[in-house]
Amino acid sequence: MKFFSKTRWLLALVCFITFSFVLTFSGINHANGTPKVMINLVEPIFQTQCAHPTSSGHLDIDGRLNVSVWNIYKQKRKNWKQVLKRLSHSSQLVLLQEAGLTTEMVDFINSHSLNVAMTKAFKLFGTSLGVMNLSVSQASSACAFHATEPLIRFAKSALITHYPLSNGETLLVVNLHGINFDWKLTRYTEQFEALSLELGGHSGPIILAGDFNTWRNDRLKLIYEFAKRFGLSEAEYHLDERQRFFGLALDHLFYRGLDFHHAESKVTDASDHNPIIAHFTLKS
């Protein structure tokens, strides 16, 4: 009888741990099922769904706006700081995917006086991982979106932020890491459709960027149709070394309502993805 009692409690404990794991990694471990967004560097302080920090200054510098996009590969490569330093010095906005809020990352952000907005997809060994915006000025709002990988149950995240511009407009920015393991594209489609209300309600300039995991033509077609709905154009590259799978680029940057000049993607060994840098000026 005593053995049965211990076995029953052990099974109950295993079930509880398993259940907690599924909740944590499906992105619904918060009150009322609302997504959460982290807008400061004190881990793990989260605010529900959308945050509206006090914004000061403009994202652009005298009408110039450079935007970088990079899957930083959880900072696994030892030279990630050198590349991120270069990107943050040459860009007013850096959009990262697979960013880990490690002590080293926090120190980097603080030492370079950067503003940060991040939404956690999941935690791995105590470190929050997700998409992260680094910018010269604070966002005026930030909203988190989560989607769960159908097979592996790890979450992917997206972050919608608004930044004031010097011409009086507000730039809407979508930083997204696309679902990978979804052959029928049901969850992949839902991930983008969840953003459509925000994009459709915004009349000003937009940037939609990230690692979209477009390793099939069907995925690429879905992205192009989505971008077309909102009048977005894709950046054109005079040097294009974006990471490819089956010959298709995985990382993208689409824009609207900005004057596009040029973009490049150069090879680096600091991640398994090569960063994008796009150069814009504001419309007068």
Higher model confidence: residue 212 or residue 51? 212
The Cα angle at residue 179 between residues 173 and 182, in degrees rounded to 5: 150
Pick the most confident of 12-21, 132-141, 189-198, 267-276: 267-276
Give pLDDT, residue 261.
98
Instruction: Quickly state the pLDDT bin for 125 (edges 50, 70, 90).
Output: low
The upper half-sphere exposure of residue 76, i.e. CA atoms within 13 Å in the direction of its Cβ, equals 10
- Residue 17: the pLDDT is 27
> 183 vs 12, which has greater pLDDT?
183
Q: Which CATH class is domain 34-282?
A: alpha beta
- In this predicted structure, the answer to whether residue 27 has a pLDDT above a threshold of 60 is no
**177 compared with 19, residue with greater pLDDT:** 177
| CA dihedral angle for residue 207, residue 211, residue 216, residue 222, rounded to 10 degrees | -30
Q: Express as a percent the part of the chain with pLDDT over 70.
A: 79
Banded model confidence at residue 39, pLDDT cuts 50, 70, 90: low
Q: What was the pLDDT predicted at 128? A: 82
Q: Is residue 151 very low, low, confident or very high in pLDDT (cuts 50, 70, 90)?
A: low
> Which of 72-81, 186-195, 243-252, 261-270 shows the lowest mean pLDDT across its residues?
186-195
pTM of the model: 0.83
pLDDT score at 224: 98
Highest mean pLDDT range out of 20-29, 122-131, 190-199? 190-199
Give the model's confidence band at 260: pLDDT under 50 very low, under 70 low, under 90 confident, else very high. Answer: very high
Within 13 Å of residue 152, how many CA atoms lie on the same side as its CB?
A: 9
